[in-house]
Amino acid sequence: QSVLTQPPSASGTPGQRVTISCSGSSSNIGRNYVCWYQQFPGTAPKLLIYGNNQRPSGVPDRFSGSKSGTSASLAISGLRSEDEAVYYCAPWDDSLNGSVFGGGTKLTVL
């Protein structure tokens, strides 16, 4: 069981804006930067957001991240069918001395 809490599923229709939450604690989200990863079935995860709200080159600006206190969020605007994937939050955790992962949220585009 993860030290981070994400909703197991989320959904939206094309063009909509969807938000995925990630709840942690003072030892992880509260004190450290958060990354988000996108994973398609059968493939390795891909870094989507780093430093709470920064996008690596090549990631569309439809994806945005935010953090407040011990919670973080990933927002996807202008939802597209190709966004259907599993999304993981991943902050560093001081007590574990490692980068931990949320349980993952499966996004379905209806």
Partner 1 sequence: QVQLVQSGAEVKKPGASVKVSCKASGYTFSYYDIYWVRQATGQGLEWMGWVNPKSGNTVSAQKFQGRVTLTKNTSINTAYMELGSLRSEDTAVYFCARRNNLYYYGLDVWGQGTTVIVSS
Q: How far is the CB of 45 from partner 1 (least distance, A)?
A: 6
Residue of 104, 67, 107 lying closest to 89 (CA atoms):
104
Two tokens at 29?
């989200």
**Sheet containing 18-23: which strands, arranged edge to edge?**
18-23, 71-76, 63-68
Note whether 15 binds partner 1 by CB under 8 A.
no
- Out of 5, 46, 71, 94, the only residue in the binding site for partner 1 (CB under 8 A) is 46
- Report residue 8: phi and psi, to 5°: -65, -25
Q: Which of residues 59-88 bind partner 1 (CB under 8 A)?
A: 86, 88
Interaction of residue 40 with partner 1, rule CB under 8 A:
no
Tell me: does residue 99 bind partner 1 (CB under 8 A): yes
Strands (E), 6-52: 9-12, 18-23, 34-39, 46-49
Q: Nearer Cβ to partner 1, position 11 or 54?
A: 54
Binding span for partner 1 by CB under 8 A among 16-24, 63-71, 73-81, 100-108: 100-108
Integer Rg of the chain from CA: 13
Of the two residues 85 and 90, which places its CB atom closer to partner 1 in the complex? 90
The CA distance from 110 to 108, in Å, is: 6
Looking at 22, 35, 79, 85, which residue binds partner 1 (CB under 8 A)? 35
